[in-house]
Amino acid sequence: MDLGLQGRTALVTGADSGIGLATVKLLLAEGATVVMSDIDQQALEAAATTLDAQEGRLHAFAADITSTSSVKALKEQVFDAVGEIDILVQGAGIHGPDGLFHEIDEEGWQQTLDVNLMGHVRVLQAFLSDLRSGGWGRLVFVSSEDAVQPYDDELPYCASKAAILSVARGLSRTYAKEGLLVNTVSPAFIATPMTDEMMDKLAKQRSISRDEAIQAFLEEERPFMELGRRGEPEEVAAVITFLCSDRASFVNGANYRVDSGAVATI
Ligand code: NAP
């Protein structure tokens, strides 16, 4: 199936690892020009060297999405390199502090919301005019199963992901008639540096290996993940890439779960 991405230009945040990097790879394979962005220039450049792209089809610019000036600088760099973008994938995110409500201070809440909600708002404010201008645009946010199924020991993360789901739904009403379609994907427990870190912490607490921690977490915390394993970043990237494509021309305001059944209530 031709996704119709040849000649399109995409910006992907959170692009030096995990779901973002897998999405960059797929968008490149489908013929798009891609700008990858993440917070750390060195890690970004290292990730870019692993990718196979024709001259001029891949660009990498670091930006901290908690900083308005950094996002403005990114906008200028992107425009100078590729002009206006057609596609924005907002994958940057942090897990934020673990703990029950009474164990997390205001700073923990603010840091998490500043990246996972306001970071995405800042990036969209900078690039919205691009996405609206050509009569064809795609905006995909990476939310989480936690948005609709909050866990009481990671509430800042859950709240930030629920907030972005709400923002996306609202945006999907505002710009659809201009050709800008807005959707979300909600993964659960994907094998990325984010969950590696969570599993290493659990492994240390229990003096077990990472693989044993993954099994314990699946059995105790995610019994409704019916496939009984962590997902792969590529399995999320495939859905994101479809939503970025011409083939998703009647999909708007949707939330695609990529979670093997993790949301128990649906
Ligand atoms: P990841 O590899 O850690 O990707 C997240 C990226 O965001 C990292 O490269 C991180 O950079 C970057 N980032 C953090 N703060 C930033 C900032 N202020 N400015 C710019 N970039 C920043 O983990 P991932 O799992 O692929 O996460 C991608 C998205 O999927 C996230 O939004 C996450 O919440 C969501 N998600 C993941 C899972 C899962 O199971 N993995 C499940 C549901 C949702 P550093 O690493 O340098 O900090």
DSSP collapsed to 3 states, 113-175: HHHHHHHHHHHHHHHHHHHHHCCCEEEEEECCHHHCCCCCCEHHHHHHHHHHHHHHHHHHHHC
Q: Separation of 73 CA from ligand 1 center, angstroms?
A: 21
pLDDT tens digit at each of 266 positions of the chain: 899 999 999 999 999 999 999 999 999 999 999 999 999 999 999 999 999 887 889 999 999 999 999 999 999 999 999 999 999 999 999 999 999 999 999 999 999 999 999 999 999 999 999 999 989 999 999 999 999 999 999 999 999 999 999 999 999 999 999 999 999 999 999 999 999 999 999 999 999 999 999 999 999 999 999 999 999 999 999 999 999 999 999 999 999 999 999 887 65
Report the distance separating Cα 128 and Cα 114, nearest Å: 19
Torsional sign, CA 232, 151, 223, 210: positive
Q: Rounded to the nearest whole angstrom, what is the distance from the C-alpha of residue 17 to the centroid of ligand 1?
A: 8
User: Which among 18, 12, 19 is positioned nearest to 53, based on CA atoms?
Assistant: 12
The CA distance from 253 to 243, in Å, is 11
State which of 11, 37, 38 you would mutate to test the pocket of ligand 1, scoring each by most atoms of that ligand within 8 A of its C-beta: 38
Are 231 and 260 within 8 A, CB to CB?
yes
Determine if ligand 1 sits within 6 Å of the CB of residue 192. yes
CB atoms within 10 A of CB 197: 11
197 DSSP 8-state letter? H
User: Would you say the CB of residue 228 lies under 6 angstroms from ligand 1?
Assistant: no
Which of 16, 17, 157 has most ligand 1 atoms within 8 Å of CB, for mutation?
17
> 170 C-alpha to center of ligand 1: Å?
23
Which atom of ligand 1 is least distant from the CA of 197? 3
The two structure tokens encoding residue 143:
């939310």
256 is annotated as an active-site residue: no
pTM exceeds cut of 0.85 = yes
CA distance 2 to 23: 17
- The set of long-range contacts for 46-50, using a CB threshold of 8 Å and a minimum separation of 24, is 46/16, 47/15, 47/16, 47/17, 47/21
Domains annotated for the chain, with CATH where assigned, are 9-188+233-257 (3.40.50.720), 190-230 (no CATH)
